[in-house]
Amino acid sequence: MAVTVRTQLSLLQGYADIMEGLSPELKKQILQVMAQKTRELGSALQPFVEQTPAARPDIGDYRRVRERTRHLMTEYRLLLESLHARVSEAHEHVSGPGETHG
Q: Are residues 67 and 38 in the same domain?
A: no
20 CA to centre of own chain: 43
pLDDT at residue number 72:
93
Domain count, the chain: 2
Question: The pTM is what?
Answer: 0.45
- What's the domain range around 31? 1-49
Q: Are residues 32 and 63 in the same domain?
A: no
Q: Are residues 62 and 98 in the same domain?
A: yes
Q: Are residues 11 and 28 in the same domain?
A: yes
Q: Are residues 29 and 58 in the same domain?
A: no
- Cβ–Cβ under 8 Å, residues 22 and 30: yes
Q: Are residues 21 and 65 in the same domain?
A: no
| Nearest-angstrom CA–CA distance, 29 and 14 | 14
Q: Are residues 93 and 71 in the same domain?
A: yes
Q: Are residues 3 and 33 in the same domain?
A: yes
What's the pLDDT tens digit per position in 29-80?
A: 999 999 998 988 888 888 887 766 656 778 888 899 999 999 999 999 999 9
**DSSP 8-state code for residue 58:** P
Residue-level length of the chain: 102
Q: Are residues 32 and 76 in the same domain?
A: no
pLDDT at residue number 83:
94
